[in-house]
């Protein structure tokens, strides 16, 4: 039987995190676009992180021996939703993408030396990271099997050449996890760890995008004769695709947790406005058209939370839950878009203005239906499994 109860100590932690986000993080949103490159100035972020550490709220997804809170995935599910009520909340509390996903990957697969060099300072919030998998066409995008970056043996080391783009956080990252092909028949890939300042890594540019500046940016990178050793390999030669799958399942889910927080806050903004704004003889909330938008948003968010909780439970049991995480990512990413769209519609001119944050959230959330698997890819994965279970035909 699935237990929906939340332990008293986790309920207390949720309230503590909620107060911190409301009283410390959300007021700092006033500085979210102060820096024309990073958006949020590094000094502001460093201050937020220092306060989160003093409050005992930093790195909720990591174990205590690394300085984290030691929560299981089912325990930190509601925590990350509360953290996600602000777009800068995950950065402030040390659980933002891609660092959070990279922490998980390193915690499971890094050797002792790699843990000390990369994982420990990453969990402490002393450094930042990036994950280099996505490539410009005709390289890997939604289909990682199209990976073009290569790592070839050269003596007792490796030489890596390739072209990455949309590498989130690369503008501030101290190290990069690189996915590269390491065989001649097109079948295998390996993950490498490299300092960002290593000779052979060129950050070409920050890719311009909708939604304004993001801290760390989304960068185009060229790898030109980057030399690494066997000691820089994460998890073993040829295990790249397996490790990426192990990273993506939990990472998709934590994205869903965080974005649910923003969507919930958008619903609250719209509900408050509908309760106060009068039109056609009554408050907006008295009109059925507005009531139905609020109701649909509440229902879809509730369904999404149940899917997130179920996936977290499966992962905690050791299941791969690929079908379930695809369903969850698909539903929640599209729900977030609809909830934000309805909130803007209810708030009208105020909604599309920059006087409240709905329009910024709307622009930022649009990418959620693309990264970590586009909606169309997840529908394809789900359909194939349905056909495998219930039909004799194969999905095209």
Residue 395 is assigned to a structural domain of this protein: no
Report d(CA 302, CA 310) in Å as an integer: 12
**Bond into 98 cis (ω within 30):** yes
Domain boundary among 190, 208, 234: 234
Q: What is the CATH number of the domain that holds 166?
A: 2.40.110.10
pLDDT category at 191 given cuts 50, 70, 90 is: very high
Contact 73, 79 (CB under 8 A): no
Helix, strand, coil % in the chain, rounded to nearest 5: 55, 15, 30
**pLDDT tens-digit series, residues 28-45:** 999 999 999 999 999 999
Please tell me the predicted confidence (pLDDT) of residue 270: 98
Residue 22 is assigned to a structural domain of this protein: yes
Per DSSP, the residues of 227-239 read EEEGGGEES-TT-
3-state secondary structure at position 246: helix
Domain boundary among 234, 263, 298: 234
3-state secondary structure at position 94: coil
252 and 364, same domain (yes or no): yes
Q: How many domains does the chain have?
A: 3
Domain boundary among 46, 74, 96: 96
* CA max distance for the chain: 80
Q: In this structure, how many other beta carbons lie within 10 angstroms of the beta carbon of residue 208?
A: 8
- Inter-axis angle of helices 99-109 and 240-276, to 10 degrees? 150
User: What number is the average pLDDT over the span 246-254?
Assistant: 90
Report d(CA 274, CA 240) in Å as an integer: 50
pLDDT category at 150 given cuts 50, 70, 90 is: very high
217 and 246, same domain (yes or no): no
Which single residue is written with the structure tokens 């006033």?
30
Phi, psi of 336 (to 5 degrees): -55, -45
224 and 265, same domain (yes or no): no
pLDDT category at 1 given cuts 50, 70, 90 is: low
pLDDT category at 279 given cuts 50, 70, 90 is: confident
255 and 222, same domain (yes or no): no
Which tokens hold the place of 313?
């439970």
Which tokens hold the place of 20?
């911190």
CA-nearest of 105, 127, 142 to 249 is 105
Report d(CA 102, CA 287) in Å as an integer: 47
- Per the structure, the complete domain to which residue 50 belongs is given by 8-96
Q: How many helices (H) and strands (E) does the chain have?
A: 13, 10
Residue 338 is assigned to a structural domain of this protein: yes
């Amino acid at each position: 039987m699935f237990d929906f109860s939340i332990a008293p100590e986790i309920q207390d932690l949720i309230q503590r995190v909620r107060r911190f986000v409301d009283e410390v993080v959300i007021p700092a949103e006033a500085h979210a676009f102060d820096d024309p490159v990073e958006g949020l100035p590094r000094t502001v972020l460093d201050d937020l992180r220092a306060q989160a550490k003093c409050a005992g709220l930093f790195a909720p997804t990591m174990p205590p021996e690394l300085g984290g809170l030691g929560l299981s995935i089912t325990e930190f599910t509601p925590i990350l939703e509360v953290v996600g009520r602000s777009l800068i909340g995950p950065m402030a509390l040390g659980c933002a993408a891609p660092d959070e996903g990279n922490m998980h990957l390193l915690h499971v697969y890094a050797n002792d030396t790699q843990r000390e060099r990369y994982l420990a300072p990453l969990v402490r919030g002393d450094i930042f990271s990036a994950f280099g998998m996505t490539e410009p066409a005709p390289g890997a995008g939604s289909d990682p099997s199209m990976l073009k970056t290569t790592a070839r043996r050269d003596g007792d080391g490796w030489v890596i050449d390739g072209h990455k783009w949309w590498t989130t956080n690369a503008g501030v990252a101290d190290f990069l996890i690189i996915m590269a092909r390491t065989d001649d028949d097109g079948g295998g890939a390996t993950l490498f760890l490299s300092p960002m300042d290593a000779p052979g890594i060129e950050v070409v540019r920050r890719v311009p995008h909708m939604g304004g500046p993001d801290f760390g940016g989304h960068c185009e990178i060229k790898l030109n004769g980057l030399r690494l050793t066997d000691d820089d390999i994460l998890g073993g030669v040829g295990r790249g695709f397996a490790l990426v799958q192990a990273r993506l399942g939990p990472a998709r889910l934590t994205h869903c947790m965080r974005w649910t927080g923003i969507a919930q806050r958008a619903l609250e903004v719209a509900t408050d406005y509908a309760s106060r704004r009068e039109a056609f003889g009554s408050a907006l909330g008295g009109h059925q058209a507005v009531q139905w938008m609020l109701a649909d948003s509440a229902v879809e968010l509730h369904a999404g939370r149940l899917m997130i909780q179920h996936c977290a439970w499966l992962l905690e049991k050791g299941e791969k839950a690929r079908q379930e995480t695809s369903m969850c990512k698909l539903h929640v990413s599209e729900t977030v878009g609809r909830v934000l769209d309805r909130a803007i519609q209810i708030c009208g001119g105020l909604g599309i203005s920059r006087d409240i944050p709905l329009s910024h959230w709307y622009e930022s959330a649009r990418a959620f239906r693309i990264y970590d698997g586009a909606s169309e890819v997840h529908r394809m994965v789900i359909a194939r499994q349905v056909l495998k279970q219930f039909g004799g035909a194969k999905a095209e």
